Structure 1
């Protein structure tokens, strides 16, 4: 199962790589929706139930955010994330996944893609730490690629303007 889990997250990595190279918030969220579903299955295969459930919730959240951004729903997703970790608690490492999920939930509901990108960076750093601690090397690679892609996209759309402007 370990090899299958790493293959699934490798496919998710390609989607993450593409995600932040789009300017469109919806295109970013569609890529993330698909990537996170694959990552959820990956964590289930590794028996990391808290992380798997948080990723499944993240997929639902990204799917919802493609069409709407009601802040009451954001609070609902945050409450569900906290509840999921409470119910599926495995170790203190689950807290790192929860912090990542909460940051990225807040990011998903932002209307400004710059704010979305910046918050995603911090959440991604939390997921990298989580994935190192649960020993999922391809998931570390996935989140690292996601982080680099996000930073490149941030530079392409905002950094050049700051330097030129």
Structure 2
């Protein structure tokens, strides 16, 4: 089996956690599921020699794990600085800019106080990861982020649009 094939299989494992993540209502479960997916994605990018994405996915995994317990702004700033340092350290042009943009947006999302705001901001960060994955040509990563986006849309609909359409009160956790 080639290194590329193994990298694509790692995305399959990450995909399971990403799809599940936004089907949870509990913010902590959402974030911890995404954290696990990020660590698999970091290994995926490592095998593809995409150093900025590797570093930023590892930082993202840690960020999601921490943000499952706190929304304190100092942590958001800490992980933003780590993303800047990781990007500067591994800079490789457009791919670095795309992965940094995605990571920066998703850092803001991760430290949102509500799952609704987390979901809304996540839409933008995921689109940047899709663009990154197109540029580095990782078909399974393109698929993963696309499914992640779809899962987020479905979860958002289930918890916020559908209840509003039915005249039900929407709870925040």
Normalising by structure 1, what TM-score? 0.98
Alignment of 1:119-138 (within 5 A): 119-138=121-140
Cα distance in 1 for residues equivalent to 2:111 and 2:100? 17
Cα distance in 1 for residues equivalent to 2:47 and 2:95? 17
Q: Which runs of 5+ in 1 are unaligned?
A: none
Match of 1:55 among 57, 60, 78: 57
Normalising by structure 2, what TM-score? 0.93
Cα distance in 2 for residues equivalent to 1:31 and 1:63? 9
Displacement after TM superposition at 1:21 (Å)? 0.3
Displacement after TM superposition at 1:164 (Å)? 1.8
Runs of 4+ in 1 over 4 A off after TM superposition: none
Cα distance in 1 for residues equivalent to 2:125 and 2:156? 15
- Please state if 1:88 is matched with 2:90: yes
Q: Which runs of 5+ in 2 are unaligned?
A: 168-173
Higher normalized contact order (CA 8 Å, seq sep 6+, divided by chain length) = 1
Q: Which residue is equivalent to 1:140? A: 142
Displacement after TM superposition at 1:93 (Å)? 1.9
Q: CA RMSD in A?
A: 0.7
